[in-house]
Amino acid sequence: MSKTLLEQLRTMTVVVADTGDIEAIQNVKPQDATTNPSLITAAAQLPQYQPIVDEVLLEAKKKLGEHASDAAVANLAFKHLAVAFGKRILAIVPGRVSTEVDARLSYDTEATLKQAREIIQQYKDQGVSKERILVKIASTWEGIKAAEILEKEGIHCNLTLLFGLHQAIACAEAGVTLISPFVGRILDWYKKSTGKDYVGAEDPGVQSVTKIYTYFKKFGYKTVVMGASFRNIGEIEELAGCDLLTISPHLLGELEAKQGDLPRKLDPEKAQQEHVEKLTIDKPTFDKMHAADAMAHDKLKEGIEGFSAALENLEKLLAARHAEIGASKETVGAH
């Protein structure tokens, strides 16, 4: 019997689940899992995860005292919710979970460092080793500089919202553990900008990750590449052999349902043979290349704004939920 595409993919690539939905992770049994503010916000609204949300809110209330406002409780709970989901996910996956620093701190190295250390401490307080955590940080110059310091402290980082080669090289030079280039969002930008559709190896997102992977393997960087944000399984097939791929449960299901041959497309030995020019990325070069790359410029900005909006939405949801819990307690107390 022929093997499914997912079975074949697992022989050459570490498969990661891109979701905050714990039930979905149980079903697909990935090695690792990644979350982001949008995914956590979505999961927090599912009825089956209400107990996790409520537990985090009550814990925050206990810390702040009876008279704390809904907004104050929500603000503290919000800082602990991603870790609460992360801990539950780690009970299922054998590997690591990625937990994201507040996207609103993306241009502030010091604030990013502070929050990254807090995330690791929260996991430590829950009995989770830092070896099982990747702190997710946006690939701004400031974020990359924060990651460089964190890696020296033994805190592993996943640099996200990565769209351009300049971002990838700066991350590798900083000794970052892992990068997440966003395949589908690159495709979205080109489709919108040219009005064309792209398939297979012509997909600009696929080309971007292939280029980054080749560069890293050619020059022997330890930083690994995890393709992210896929729009279809065709993109995944073209990146078979990438170090890791983080895939939504929906697309993992499609890969599991499909049979046929899955040839390896990315190969470290082949990358060694490629002719690639070595670049040095300092801040002026980074800024210049970022300004010249309209897609990377637009998508990084849009990604940070999108994740920031999701976080604001999550804070509002938590404040509303805390008010609900308070109201139901009062009703019970009145009877």
Question: Which residues are part of the catalytic machinery?
Answer: 136
Q: Of 303, 294, 102, 103, which is closest to residue 185 (Cα–Cα)?
A: 303
Kindly provide the residue ranges of all beta strands, DSSP E only, lying in 122-203, ordered along the sequence. 133-138, 157-162, 178-181
**Contact of 244 with 225, CB cutoff 8 Å:** yes
Backbone angles phi, psi at 188, to 5 degrees: -55, -45
**Contact of 5 with 255, CB cutoff 8 Å:** yes
Which pairs from 204-209 meet CB under 8 Å and 24+ separation?
204/295, 205/181, 205/229, 205/231, 205/235, 206/235, 206/238, 206/239, 208/163, 208/164, 208/165, 208/181, 208/183, 209/181, 209/183, 209/239, 209/242
Going by the DSSP 8-state scheme, the letter that residue 159 receives in this structure is E
- Counting every residue, how long is the chain? 335
- C-alpha dihedral over 305, 306, 308, 313, to 10 degrees? 140
